[in-house]
Structures are given as C-alpha cells and as structure tokens.
C-alpha cells in the first residue's frame, strides 16, 4: 500500500510540475522595433534575424509585429519570404505597423483617393505575408474638428479596405492624442467617430499613462475596442512603478484583448536582448496574465 501511495504521489507531483510548466507558456508578441539596433532595417535583418528571432522565441515570445514596410516589402523581403523567415524561427506573423499621412491638400479638400491608392499595394503585401492586423502608428494631428472629421473618415475607409482583405485595421497611440482639438480630446474623438467594425485601437499603455489617463478607464468607457495592447514601461517591465500592469490585465476582457505585444523602447542593460528576456520573464511569471486571450 505504501508503494502504491508513493507512486500516486510521484505521479501527481509530475503532473503538477507539467501543469506549472505549461502555465508559463503564454501568447505574447514582440514589436520588432524593440530590437531595431539588431534587425531594424533590411541590411541588419539579413545579417542578424536568424539568431535574434531564435533567441526571442527561446525566451517565450510567440508572435511578431513588424515595423519596416516599404514599397511592397517587409525588411527588404517579399511578403512570402518574410512570412517564411518568421515561421522558420517558430514564430507567428501577427501584425505590422505601417501608416500613410494625408497631405495638407487632402486634409483641406477631404478627398484622399490618392492616399487610398497607396494602401492598395500595402494591404495586398500584408495579406500575402499572413498578417492578421495592420496598425497605423500615427496620423496627422488635426488643428480643427473639420480636419479631425476628415482623418476619421480616412481611417474608416482604410479599415473597410483592410477588412475586405480579411484582416483588421487599428490605430496605435502615443501621448499627444490625449490632448484637445477645439475642446475635444483627440483620442476620444477618434474612438467616437470611427466605426468599431472597421477600426480597433491598439492602446500603448505606457504612452496612455504618460498622457495622464487611465488605460482601465478607457477600457470601461469603450469596451471591446482594444483588441491589441502595447505592453510597455519606461524601460523593462515593472521597474518604474509607473504602469499598473495587474489592473490592465485584470480588465483585459473588458478591453477586448486578443494579443498582448511587448515593446521595449530602450534599456539600461548593455544588451537589449537581456531587456527583452526580463520583459518575457515578467509576463510569464505574472499570475494576472492569462496563457491566451485569443479564445
């Protein structure tokens, strides 16, 4: 009987360890801008991407967000080549940052057909690369509400085109969007004047805090609009005390989160890859971060 109990206990311990190990496997993407010094342009990407991507995958990252699109190519590669290189590293092609601002003439006239023409090639390239999301990392800052209306109509139209191609289109903030245009908070105005089925918002939680607003309050005010989040701190996660990651993740369902994306603007460590590991380890160890939000 004692031997049987011992075997049962050992089996239970093994299963428990296995469950704990699996719990550390979490869906988390990284913004490739974080490692721009290593793979930030076509030349650096060609030289370093295999070892850099392999190291990031080994840290536990599961997907990528690109930050180098130009004239139909990503990091100097065709969309198909880019997809193959990312997947060869055991990573998923998730999203890409890319944008095209309106000219002063387009803002004034409200006719942005020329800008939409630019998006046709861009959308096609991202579809061929296997992207799920295209994220605009910034637009013109409007001087008037009339300009704000033109920009929102533009975002809606681009979102419509991206949706027709089977992807989703979003907007990524910095801190300046929390300023006002003719008495209206520009970020709120965008949220209220774009269609939820055409434009989602990728909140950068660090820049929101720097803009002196609460990410969680925005989740509650505009539920379901924030299907991607940029998870970021002043440097490595948790070291500044500025960003309440526990509250952010505890309200992720209200936000509508599908995938968290790590971005590291800079590090005090001599090797940026060490900083990326600190961030990965933080999220893997955090009990308030789910294994997956894409369910």
Q: What percentage of the chain has pLDDT greater than the value 90?
A: 88
Domain count, the chain: 1
Is 14 inside a domain boundary? Answer: no
Q: Give pLDDT tens digits for 161-175.
A: 999 999 999 999 999
Mean pLDDT lowest among 9-23, 27-41, 251-265, 268-282: 9-23
Is 221 inside a domain boundary? Answer: yes
130-134-135 Cα angle (round to 5): 150
Structural tokens at position 228? 């991607």
- What local confidence, expressed as pLDDT, does residue 294 receive? 86
Residue 4 has pLDDT above 60, yes or no: no
The shares of helix, strand and coil residues in the chain, as percent rounded to the nearest 5, are 50, 15, 35
Q: At what angle do helices 42-59 and 272-285 cross, to 10 degrees?
A: 30
Is 181 inside a domain boundary? Answer: yes
Cα separation, 162 vs 124, in Å, equals 9
Structural tokens at position 294? 């894409």
Task: Average the pLDDT over 125-133 and give the result.
Answer: 98
- What local confidence, expressed as pLDDT, does residue 132 receive? 98
Cα separation, 105 vs 116, in Å, equals 14
Structural tokens at position 109? 């006239």
56: containing domain: 27-285
Is 104 inside a domain boundary? Answer: yes
Is 260 inside a domain boundary? Answer: yes
120: domain CATH number? 3.20.20.150
Q: Give pLDDT tens digits for 240-295.
A: 999 999 999 999 999 999 999 999 988 989 999 999 999 999 999 999 999 999 87
* Average pLDDT over all residues of the chain: 92
Is 1 inside a domain boundary? Answer: no
Task: Average the pLDDT over 99-125 and give the result.
Answer: 97
Q: Give pLDDT tens digits for 76-91.
A: 999 999 999 999 999 9
Residue 3 has pLDDT above 60, yes or no: no
Residue 13 has pLDDT above 80, yes or no: no
Residue 18 has pLDDT above 50, yes or no: no
């Amino acid at each position: 009987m004692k031997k049987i109990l011992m075997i049962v206990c050992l089996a239970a311990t093994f299963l428990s360890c296995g469950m704990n190990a699996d719990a550390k496997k979490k869906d988390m993407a990284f913004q490739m801008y974080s490692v721009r010094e290593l793979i930030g342009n076509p030349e650096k990407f060609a030289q370093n991407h295999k070892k850099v991507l392999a190291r990031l995958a080994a840290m536990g990252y599961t997907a990528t967000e690109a930050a180098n699109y130009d004239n139909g190519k990503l990091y100097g590669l065709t969309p198909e080549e880019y997809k193959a290189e990312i997947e060869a590293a055991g990573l998923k092609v998730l999203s890409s940052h890319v944008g095209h601002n309106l000219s002063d003439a387009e803002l004034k006239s409200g006719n942005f057909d020329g800008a939409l023409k630019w998006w046709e090639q861009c959308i096609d390239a991202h579809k061929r690369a296997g992207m799920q999301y295209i994220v605009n990392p910034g637009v013109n800052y409007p001087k008037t509400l009339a300009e704000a209306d033109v920009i929102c109509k533009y975002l809606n139209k681009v979102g419509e085109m991206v949706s027709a191609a089977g992807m989703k289109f979003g907007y990524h903030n910095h801190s300046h969007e929390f300023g006002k245009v003719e008495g209206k908070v520009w970020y709120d105005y965008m949220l209220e004047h774009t269609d939820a089925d055409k434009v989602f918002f990728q909140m950068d939680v660090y820049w929101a805090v720097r803009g002196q607003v609460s990410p969680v309050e925005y989740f509650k005010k505009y539920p379901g609009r924030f299907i991607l989040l940029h998870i970021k701190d002043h440097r490595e996660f948790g070291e500044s005390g500025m960003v309440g990651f526990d509250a952010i993740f505890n309200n992720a369902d209200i936000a509508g989160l599908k995938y968290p994306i790590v971005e590291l603007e800079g590090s005090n460590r001599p090797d940026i890859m060490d900083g990326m590991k600190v961030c990965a380890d933080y999220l893997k160890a955090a009990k308030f971060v789910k294994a997956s939000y894409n369910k």
